[in-house]
Amino acid sequence: MGMSDLFNDVPAFVAVVEAGSFAAGARRLHLSRSAVGKAVARLEERLGVRLFQRTTRSLSLTDDGQAFFEHCQQAIAALMAGQAVVETGNKVVSGTLRVTMPVLFGRLCVAPILIRLAVQHPALTLELDFRDQHVDLIESGMDLAIRNGAVGAGTGLVARHVAHKKTLLCAAPSYIERCGKPQGPDDLARHQTIAYSRDGRVLIWQFYRDDGTLCELMPSSRLLLNDLGSMLDAVVAGQGIAWLPDWLISESLKRGELLQLLPDAPSRLEDVHLIWPQAPHLPVRVRVAIEALTLGLSGVARDVLQKPA
């Protein structure tokens, strides 16, 4: 297998994973579905493994496929970062970089990447805006925005998908000792829950059952909070079961303060996008920040398993 042959088919594989289907991946690359399918088949033959589990209703990555995709993401991000470095030449990365981001995700996952960037480029000034509400980039003069979830079409804006976030069910050992452990998604209705609520709307929990069907649960809770950090405090205190992002609870899981529940009932993944105003030529500081965030945030999700809605 030549290296060039491998590289030629990798974009098709990555597009299918990121888009969630062969048809959507083909549209993204402006190719036929047949061409994309043949590219993935060639990859599987050359690697000697199956990359996807295919059924009539779903498409998911195998363990080998997941591992290969993670390396592909890192390689593509590194190549893009290298391109940006070459393009900047001897230009100094300077000026003020203005970035808006969700409060907690921004503080824990985004800001450290940008602070490292500022350390690398002493002439760069950071202006970081932490808020959960969307900001009009053009009106506010922001260079970049990090947004979670689906991104609609915006006039004069460019969006780049950079990561998936996984949400996990969790509870404290003290709660499990007191109330028992749920055996499946449908068993959650009898448990105490801690729910996220904003502007009177409660976030619906969504899981896949063993047969691949989607289970949606509207948690009934006496604890309705609009702050993920407070939800984490409440679940660690044994007040109930919560549905929280893995980047937030990973350390609590490692310390044994929390236990993951229903690991075999995966929940839907949430996309992370970078958004910036469209322009013929982006300032060097913005291009360098985009590549640093693309590379840094690609490791946020631990599981790239995708299932269609």
* pLDDT tens across the length of the chain (309 residues): 456 667 788 888 988 888 788 988 888 777 889 999 999 999 999 899 999 988 877 888 999 999 999 888 788 777 766 665 665 555 678 889 999 999 999 999 999 999 999 999 999 999 999 998 888 887 788 899 999 876 765 567 888 888 878 888 999 999 999 999 998 888 888 899 999 988 788 888 888 777 777 778 888 888 999 899 999 999 999 999 999 988 899 899 999 999 999 887 777 677 889 999 887 678 889 999 999 999 888 765 433 333 333
Asked if residues 285 and 97 have their Cβ atoms less than 8 Å apart, the reply is: yes
Amino acid at 173: P
| Nearest CA-CA partner of 142 in 154, 125, 127, 121 | 127
Beta 144-148 vs 95-101: how paired, if at all?
parallel
Asked if residues 91 and 284 have their Cβ atoms less than 8 Å apart, the reply is: yes
Structural domains of the chain ordered from first start: 3-83 (1.10.10.10), 93-309 (3.40.190.290)
How many C-beta atoms lie closer than 10 Å to residue 209's C-beta? 13
Asked if residues 97 and 125 have their Cβ atoms less than 8 Å apart, the reply is: yes
Q: DSSP string spanning 194-263?
A: EEEEETTEEPPEEEE-TTS-EEEE----SEEES-HHHHHHHHHTTS-EEEEEHHHHHHHHHHTS-EEE-T
214 vs 145: CA distance, rounded Å: 31
Question: Helix (H, G, I), strand (E, B), or coil: what is residue 160?
Answer: strand
Is the C-alpha dihedral spanning 270, 272, 276, 279 positive or negative?
negative
